[in-house]
Structure formats: structure tokens, C-alpha cells
Amino acid sequence: MPKIAAVTTAVPPHVVLQDQARTFAERYFRLHRRDVERLAAVFEHTGIEKRHICVPSDWFEASRSFEEKNALYIDWATRLGVDVVRAGAEKAGVPTSEITHIVFVSTTGLATPSVDSRIANVLGLSPHIVRTPIWGLGCAGGASGLSLAYRLAKGDPQALIALVCVELCSITFHFGDFSKSNFVATSLFADGAAGVLVAGDERAASIQARGPAINASLSTTWPDSLDVMGWNFDSVGMQVVFSRAIPQIVQEKARTNCGKFLSSQGLDFDKIDHFVAHPGGAKVIEAYQEALPLRPCAMTHARTVLRDYGNMSSPTVLFVLDRLLDSGAPKDGDHALLTALGPGFSSEQVLLQF
């Protein structure tokens, strides 16, 4: 089976404490909403202490054009993408020139040529590298990208695939949108990048990849759920859309969906030693714990990533995987279930074995 050779993460330099974000939101929304004090309680219940963003906090004090936002997106997505690919290659002990594929996942900006081509130019990757840019998967993107990397590596035993997930959620802030969704987004979203180096069977053996094997994956898209999560677009840029029903959907769908996947692999929940979930928010974490028969500490890494980085959309689940690997907890033979939810409304699951 394909194996993970390295997992790396990167964040931009500006740090926002949750109290600072709350003060901004209360001031910004107060002139247009009468329920600001009630809504502001969401900041206390996110489980977030701080977040990283790519611009200084005073950048949000004025309306910004989509052109300005997107230029920032391209700049920072390239920078952070280069960082995680370079760090992953160093961690795995391989030159970047030996990377055969790059899978680039993002949903918070647009670029043609796509950002993966810009990363390839900066790093001097092979001119014959296979590029796969993926847009629109939102919070499910990290898990979906890992699933695709697994499928590519399964078809090419010599493949060395760089998965790169980058999101600049902060600069999608929609000045002039006083909706509840924008208020909640202000309490949750942040910027960051994660990279995973995935090796095909033969390549994994030659570089002595030490990460877990990827055994299987399952994609699910539920019908008639397009309005649960996504973006609206206008002349200013992207306007966030997400439903308050997401935790309820987790409670209703997660056990059946995860159970079906595990059963297809001859497993059940008792055989899952580690649970790697995208922490969309504190309520989503709680919904997973209520819906699934998890061990008491199963969501520890998800909670600490949410606390330290907020919801970075697609790379967040890979931050959780990185925490798990660094903890030293996995033992030979352990199984881990990695999962995330995103627009569609959809779920991606990846089965790992150490």
C-alpha cells in the first residue's frame, strides 16, 4: 500500500487572539445588528484561543476589492505551499526534484496558472511533474486530497506525490456583509497550509518511509444538501455560507457513514485506535463524540489544533494528523480513521494503518 513519508505544516506571521477578534466583531457588526451581544457569545464557545492570518489586523478596517484579496491569496498560497513542500522533502530525506506529482487543494482564491505551477517554478520541480489543482472542496479538501494522492500512488508504485493544502480564509472577509454567517465566520476561520508526501509501494520502500500506510478511502456526497456550506460570489468577492445544522448532520450521518466504510474494510469502531477529524468547531467535535463510539481522548488532537489555529478549512485535518504523528502514540498495527466534511454536502474518509 502507499505510505505517508512526511506531514508538514506552516502558518503566516500575524497572530490574532480570540478576544481581539471578538472586540473587532462587536464593533463592526453593532451598527447593523441589534443582536450583537447575543451573537458574541459564540466567541466563548469556539474552543479557539488564537489564530494566524496573513495580514495585519487593521487590514479589515476597510473594504477591499476582489482584485486586492486575490493578489494576496496568490502571494501567500505560493509562499506557504513552497514552505510545506520543501519541509516535507527535507523531512523524508528526498530532493524536491524527485517529486513526480503535485496535488494542490484550495478554495479561498483563484489563480490561472494555478498555484501548484507557481510552487513548481519556485522549487524547480521536474518539468514533467503531474499537476492536479483541486478547487471547491472547502473543509473536506485535506482528506479528499489525501484520498486522491493515495489513488494516484496506488496506480504508480514509483510515485512520490506532494499534497499541498493552503487556505487564506481571513482575506475572504466580506466587508459589508452583516449576516450571522459572516459573524460566526469571524469567530472561526484562519489561515494555514499543510503538506503530505505520499509514496507508492516501491518508492516508499526505497526511501524507507516511516509514516502510516494508506489502506482505503471513501467519498460520500449527500443529495439535496447544496445549501449547507459554500460561497456566494459578488463584486466584492466570496461571501461565506454555512448552515447551523452541520453539527446535527454529523450526529445523523456520521455513524452510519463511518460504519459502512469500516465494515467494507473488515473493521468496526472497536478496531479504530485513533480518530483524526477536521475540527470545524467545538460543536462539530461534540457532535462526533455523541454520534460515534469513540474513546474519551479520541478528539484531543482535534481540540488542541482548533485551540491553537482555529478552523483553517482544508489543511486543518492534516494539522491534526501531524499532532498525532508527533505524539508518538500510534503503535505498529494501529488503525486511524481520518475524516472531514465539506461543501456538497460531502464527507471524505481515509483509513490509515501504522
DSSP bridge partners of 162 = 102, 197
- Answer yes or no: are the C-beta atoms of 116 and 131 closer than 8 Å: yes
Burial of 313 (0-12, 13-18, 19+ CB in 10 A): buried
Q: Determine contact, residues 121/77, Cβ cutoff 8 Å.
A: no
Of 309, 112, 288, 94, residue with least CA distance to 194: 309
- Residues with catalytic roles: 139
CB 316 within 8 A of CB 191: no
Nearest Cα to Cα of residue 87 among 285, 296, 318, 338? 318
CA distance 99 to 5: 12
Report yes or no: 186 and 21 within 8 Å, Cβ to Cβ. yes
Return the number of other C-beta atoms located less than 10 Å from residue 215's C-beta. Answer: 15
Is residue 132 within 8 Å of 104, Cβ to Cβ? yes
